[in-house]
Amino acid sequence: MTATIANPVPGGRKRRAARDGRPGRKLTFDNVSFMVVFLGLPVTVFAVFVLWPFAQAAYFALTNWSGFSPDYDVIGLDNFGDLWSDQLFRRAVRNNVILAVVVPLATIVIALTFATIMTIGGSSHGQLRGIRGSSFYRVVSFFPYVVPAIVIGLIWSKIYDPTSGLLNGTLTKLGLDQFEAFAWLGKQSTARWAVIFVIMWGFVGFYMVLFIAAIKGIPAELYDAARIDGCGRARMTFSVTIPMIRDAVQTAYIYLGIFALDAFVYVQAMTPTGGPENSTLTISQRLFRTAFTEGKFGYASAMGVVLAAVTLLFAGLVFTVSWLTGGRDKRSKA
């Protein structure tokens, strides 16, 4: 800003411009108080409640702290070595990776499909619009997101109940007798997918609304032009919609992925024991148990550090993939 003002102006006006252009340099009460309130305070809060706990966790990961006494020894990287050979923890990491791959992908595909139907899925004559009643569906599909995650978990654990649950009740009424007393959350073959379904159920509505907003932001001329060129709805989706909202999709992917790497509330509500053969055990569940029931806070902190690393790795991976698949063209054009 200052440069563009200062440069083209010659001679005598330059001095004045510099003074006018850089008011921040002067430590008046206004400036200082502004800095304190809008910079100092947030940075302090961030440092105390985010950075400091991070640093603490990283430090405790190097100790054998039990969590219940003020004494501990620094034991270096032993905890990480133990984690590497901890079968249960590796199992949890594997489960989380599966969640982080499946949940975002499936949720986004479904959300995007619905969003497309509700924005450009309507009549192909006249103005571009969604299917009839789309605003109603939009509101209804947002409902699950309004319900707290723990409540969703508990509701579904009742729906999945083998003998008195809604799901098996419906299926057996339809004549599918093999679902009599079928333990959805108790069979290794179904527990993970039952949990994934519930997480998706909770999120699809929100991401659909997010995508609808993004699609509405696309200039209508683009669609009109595409239609004149003879695009069908599918072609319009892949050649207009998705390229135009790829930033929204990328953000959604990262958010959902980070969530899936945690997923604590859902799994704790539906399969508090870690699921059949630990097939739904997550890192966060394992961490919680290690810290509070086994009294190994140092070891649990090491798990936390690994989880943070996995999360960062995931975000990095998504950015890289997005960049490689064409994000870079867009950047350079802009």
Token representation of residue 156: 């579904």
Instruction: Tell me the per-residue interface mask from 209 to 248 with another protein, x by CB under 8 A, - otherwise.
Output: ----------------------------------------
Q: Is 201 in the site for another protein (CB under 8 A)?
A: no
- The whole-angstrom separation of Cα 154 and Cα 269 is 6
Footprint of another protein on 302-331 (CB under 8 A): none
Question: In the bound complex, what is the minimum distance in angstroms from residue 226's beta carbon to another protein?
Answer: 49
Q: Identify the CA nearest to 127 among candidates 119, 135, 139.
A: 119
- Among the listed ranges 142-150, 170-178, 184-192, 218-226, the one in contact with another protein (CB under 8 A) is 184-192
Instruction: Tell me the per-residue interface mask from 41 to 60 with another protein, x by CB under 8 A, - otherwise.
Output: -------x------------
| Maximal C-alpha separation, the chain | 92
- Among the listed ranges 24-32, 126-134, 270-278, 308-316, the one in contact with another protein (CB under 8 A) is 270-278
Q: Identify the CA nearest to 124 among candidates 236, 241, 213, 212.
A: 236
Write down the residue that tokens 């003074």 correspond to.
19
Q: Identify the CA nearest to 119 among candidates 245, 247, 307.
A: 245
Token representation of residue 68: 């219940």
Question: In the bound complex, what is the minimum distance in angstroms from residue 16's beta carbon to another protein?
Answer: 48
Question: In the bound complex, what is the minimum distance in angstroms from residue 110's beta carbon to another protein?
Answer: 25
Q: How far is CA 95 from CA 17, 199, 273, in A?
A: 61, 14, 14
CB contact burial 48-75 (16+ within 10 A = b; e otherwise): eeeeeeeeebeebbbbbbebeeeeeeeb
- Give the E-state strand segments of the chain in sequence order: none
Write down the residue that tokens 């959805």 correspond to.
184
Residue 130, classified by CB atoms within 10 Å of its CB into exposed (0-12), middle (13-18) or buried (19+), is buried
**Can you tell me which of 20, 224, 294, 329 binds another protein, judged by CB under 8 A?**
294
Question: In the bound complex, what is the minimum distance in angstroms from residue 310's beta carbon to another protein?
Answer: 22
Q: Are 252 and 210 spatial neighbours (Cβ–Cβ below 8 Å)?
A: yes
Q: Is 264 in the site for another protein (CB under 8 A)?
A: no
Number of continuous H segments (helices) and E segments (strands) in the chain: 19, 0
Residue closer to another protein by CB (options 67, 327) is 67
The C-alpha angle with vertex 166 and arms to 165 and 167, in degrees rounded to 5, equals: 95
Residue closer to another protein by CB (options 181, 225) is 181
**Can you tell me which of 142, 276, 310, 315 binds another protein, judged by CB under 8 A?**
276
**Can you tell me which of 5, 17, 21, 64 binds another protein, judged by CB under 8 A?**
64
- Among the listed ranges 23-31, 37-45, 288-296, 314-322, the one in contact with another protein (CB under 8 A) is 288-296
Q: How many residues bind another protein (CB under 8 A)?
A: 39
Q: Tell me how far the alpha carbon of residue 159 is from its chain's centroid.
A: 25
Residue closer to another protein by CB (options 129, 289) is 289
Q: At residue 120, what is the residue type? A: I
Q: Is 187 in the site for another protein (CB under 8 A)?
A: yes
Question: In the bound complex, what is the minimum distance in angstroms from residue 94's beta carbon to another protein?
Answer: 15
Q: Is 191 in the site for another protein (CB under 8 A)?
A: yes
Residue closer to another protein by CB (options 144, 274) is 274
**Can you tell me which of 266, 296, 302, 318 binds another protein, judged by CB under 8 A?**
296
Applying CB under 8 A, which residues contact another protein? 48, 64, 66-70, 88, 157-158, 160-164, 180-188, 191, 271-278, 289, 292-296
